[in-house]
Amino acid sequence: MSEKIKSAFDEIYAENELKQNTREYVLKKIEKRHKKSNTIKYVYSLAVCLFIFIIGGYKIYFNTTSIISIDINPSLELEINCFDKVISVEGYNDDGEILANNIDVHFDNYNDAIYEIINSSEISNSISENGLLSIGVVEMDTKQCEKILYDIEKYTENQNNMYCYSMKESDVLEAHKIGLSCGKYHAFLQLQSLNPNITTDEVSQMTMREIRDLIESLSNNNDIEFENGQGNGQCNGRGNGQGNGQCNGQGKMQGKNFNN
């Protein structure tokens, strides 16, 4: 009898031990699965945040906050982001497209990009042959525009046949709609006020010196006084000498070292 009782108690102990082991096993599985689930959720959340950061950062970096129009005969524009980096280079006539393809200033600071462009053989040769270089800054971000214009003024003040100016953002769409850079559009408006028959195609292929000479010729014929590239609209020109007057087109003009 005592052996039967002992055997019965042993069976109960075995069952309790099995239950305890089973319970511990199940709890470990649940805990492991819970940790795995949390890890997956963490990785997923991190991936979502990283994706949002990348997309948001991409949009910020490639958002245009200023445009610099460089015109002599090659006409091209640089789009600048909020970090003062060049994010796009676009040629607006045949020579401008060739120059845009021959230089690599993407992601450069605008100062470095302008320096490289001005010192390229295409533009430096034109300047040495009495070409006239204009650098326009479109007012999209006022603070940045003022900074860029200030930097360009410092560079052009000791150079011959160069001037810089600012123009309104509203002119950009009109300029691009008719296939002109902002700088050529500014000059086109001056010519158009003097000769309504002038076409955008004609202006597109003209050098800035040719445009300047034509403006002066038409101005003299019409007894209109022009000083340092001023026509209809408000303008403050600073070149080799000071001049205040009317300027065709919108925006204020600050031109330096403007040689006839």
Q: Are 174 and 186 in contact (CB under 8 A)?
A: no
User: What percent of the chain stands above pLDDT 70?
Assistant: 65
Per-domain residue ranges of the chain: 1-61, 66-254
Per-residue pLDDT band for 83 (boundaries 50, 70, 90) equals very high
Q: For residue 204, what are its two tokens?
A: 């597109």
| Model confidence at 56: pLDDT above 80 | no
Residue carrying the six token digits 């055997």: 7
Poorest-pLDDT segment among 94-98, 166-170, 186-190, 240-244: 240-244
User: 0.85 exceeded by the pTM?
Assistant: no
Q: What's the DSSP call for residue 208?
A: H
Per-residue pLDDT band for 55 (boundaries 50, 70, 90) equals confident
| Model confidence at 238: pLDDT above 90 | no
Q: Are 109 and 85 in contact (CB under 8 A)?
A: yes
pLDDT at 144: 95
Rg, the chain, Cα only: 35
| Model confidence at 112: pLDDT above 70 | yes
Tens of pLDDT, residue by residue over 183-216, are 999 899 989 999 999 998 888 888 999 998 999 8
pLDDT at 259: 42
Q: Are 99 and 117 in contact (CB under 8 A)?
A: yes
What mean pLDDT comes out for the span 119-143? 91
Poorest-pLDDT segment among 28-32, 93-97, 235-239: 235-239
Tens of pLDDT, residue by residue over 240-256, are 333 333 333 334 434 44
Alpha-carbon gap, residue 160 to 34, rounded angstroms:
74
Q: Are 186 and 249 in contact (CB under 8 A)?
A: yes
Which among 126, 129, 77 has a CA at the least distance from the CA of 105? 77
